[in-house]
Amino acid sequence: MGTVFSRDYQSKPYWWERTPRPVLDEIELPLETDVAIIGSGYTGLCAAIQTTRNQKNTVVLDAQDAGWGGSSRNGGQVSTSLKPDFDELFRKYGEDKARAILMEGIRALDWIGDFIEEENIDCDFKRVGRFFGTHTPKQFRLLEEKIQQQPKGLKAEIQIVTRENQSSEIGTSFYHGGVVHPHHASLDPACYHKGLLERALESGVMVKSHCPVLEIKKTGEVFQVRTSSGTLKASDVVVATSGYTGEPTPWLKRRMIPIGSYMIATEELDEDLVKELIPNNRVITDSRKLVVYYRTSPDRRRILFGGRVSLSESDPKKSGPALFQQLILIFPQLAKTRISHSWMGFIGYTFDHMPHTGAREGIHYSMGYCGSGVSLSSYFGTKLGQRVAGLAEGETPLTEVPFQTRPFYTGNPWFLGPSILFYQFVDRFLS
């Protein structure tokens, strides 16, 4: 296995130590329901909470344990992070729609803190702020210009940090300054999912795990959802599978790009060392095309570090050492540290780098959060559930955005390997 791994190394998410996979009561698949939801992550559970609380019988189906996918594997970073900027959206959709779309990302960040508090979910949610580092002087200059050119009405509170002052934010000389987004947050993603699952069950949602959906057919006004446990009739079907979207929904699969995102956790570190590395407990990302993201664990004893590093898209034992090399490039102080956990999950990307929510041929969906799924999936999942329940507050400008694919793409992202190599080249020579 190699010396980068600790003696007690585990190839599963660090988050599962505190929050083991849920064991649900065995339930018989009912013959019919008002709403069938495929996927028991943040999107599916938030939608289910809304439909059930609005008097619609709801069944949530999952091929694995509840929340087994991205919802319990992510880095627990909470942001606005709709990827396209105002200029790009303005060119595509005009000024009004561009503003409306970007405002949804801002609302999602504001909303999730209130939601967690209202639902009394214990998940270490904290407004810690985000440090965004620039990996070259050119990137710092471009970032300064972008901040100065923020559109009126969409100006976010941002604090510029020069390279001379960045030791107050991060214990490395790797970056050439950066910015702080003070309203961004962190949480324990598995604890958050556990809280959502509890609220869904308390509301009357039926959750059946280890029940893969094999086929969805519509007969008249009723859907026939064929599963490994039998066939369920439903008036409405919701697909909330994002990076795990599969064969039963080929139209959606052709629009989703599953990208492997890999994470490691260090063994426990000295308290003073953690304070030196990340003194203000920020979540951290940087300006490189080949994305990395990192933070401390909620108890501030470990560094949790993630990124897109693997060409194979599958094996955390191979990605762990690669991520570790990225980690010590930023923090050489950790060169003798070992990895206690290494894991991966799939992120749902889209060709326009935007989430999409809406309905097609009676099938409702919300997916494609492009690496910012904690707030966006919860927010748009809630909106989706409200729309299915017939509530006006479920409307969002994103239902008007076309969900596009590319010719001949069937859901197999063969281009990811070459893309990673290209981004490595750009980061090194062209940034």
CA dist 335 and 376 (Å) reads 35
Q: Is residue 171 part of a domain?
A: yes
Closest CA to 411 of 374, 368, 378: 368
Q: Is residue 24 part of a domain?
A: no
pLDDT at 308: 84
The CATH number given to whatever domain includes residue 402 is: 3.50.50.60
pLDDT at 1: 46
End-to-end CA distance of the chain: 34
Question: Which tokens is 20 given?
Answer: 């083991």
pLDDT at 157: 87
Residues sharing a CB contact under 8 Å with residue 305, sequence separation 6 or more, in sequence order:
263, 264, 265, 266, 292, 293, 294, 323, 326, 327
Q: Is residue 397 part of a domain?
A: yes
CA dist 371 and 355 (Å) reads 10
Task: Provide the 3-class DSSP secondary structure of residue 206.
Answer: strand
Q: Is residue 276 part of a domain?
A: yes
Q: Is residue 292 part of a domain?
A: yes
Q: What is the count of structural domains for the chain?
A: 1
Angle at 61 between CA 55 and CA 382, to 5 degrees: 50
Rg (CA), the chain: 21
pLDDT at 425: 75
- Average pLDDT for runs of 10 along the chain of length 431: 86 97 93 98 98 98 97 95 88 93 93 97 98 96 90 84 97 97 97 98 98 96 97 98 96 96 97 98 94 96 90 76 95 97 95 96 96 95 98 96 95 84 79 79
Task: State the residue range of the domain holding 305.
Answer: 5-19+29-430
Q: Is residue 372 part of a domain?
A: yes
